Amino acid sequence: PAPEENAMDVSYINPFIIATSSCFKTMLAVDIHPEEPSLKRMPFPTYDISGVIGLSGDAQGSISLSFPETDAINFVKKMLGAEQLGDDEMTDGIGEIVNIIAGNAKQYLTKFNLSISLPSVIIGKRHTLAGQSGSPTIVVPFSSDHGKFIMEVSLKTK
């Protein structure tokens, strides 16, 4: 059968998994372990802190990393080598991590001429992220000795 029009090819997820693992290893000196990717389904998972970047060009969508609050604090402290974090350091740190990942993944997706937006950071207990309508969202959980998080990628080709 013909693939569903605008369906997301899951091979698009691999550059984001590679970029995420690379970012955490080089910027935070943390080995993270991706778990099985799956399609995002209701009920949507909830988070405390999310970094989101929009993607545009010959494909449109977004990438987000979402963390439980304690794990987000642990990761940003590790990245900054800090004992304590101010609110600005926390949002800047999460934004920087997702920005590095989007930029690194972009180099593997050159056929889409992607542009990345500035990161947005959402903070709020038990918030949900809604995906782009008409485009499936792939969810990849990651775990490490320093905490866990979820990556969500939605990419719709033109």
Task: Please say if the pLDDT value at position 147 is more than 60.
Answer: yes
The pLDDT confidence band at residue 10, using thresholds 50, 70 and 90, is: low
- Which residue type is seen at 135? S
Task: Please check whether residue 99 is in contact with residue 121, taking contact to mean a CB–CB distance below 8 angstroms.
Answer: no
- Which residue type is seen at 94? I
Tell me the average pLDDT across 65-86: 93
Q: What is the mean pLDDT of the chain?
A: 88
- pLDDT value of residue 144: 95
Read off the pLDDT of residues 11-55 as tens digits, 9 standing for 90 and up. 789 999 999 999 999 999 999 999 999 888 876 778 899 999 999
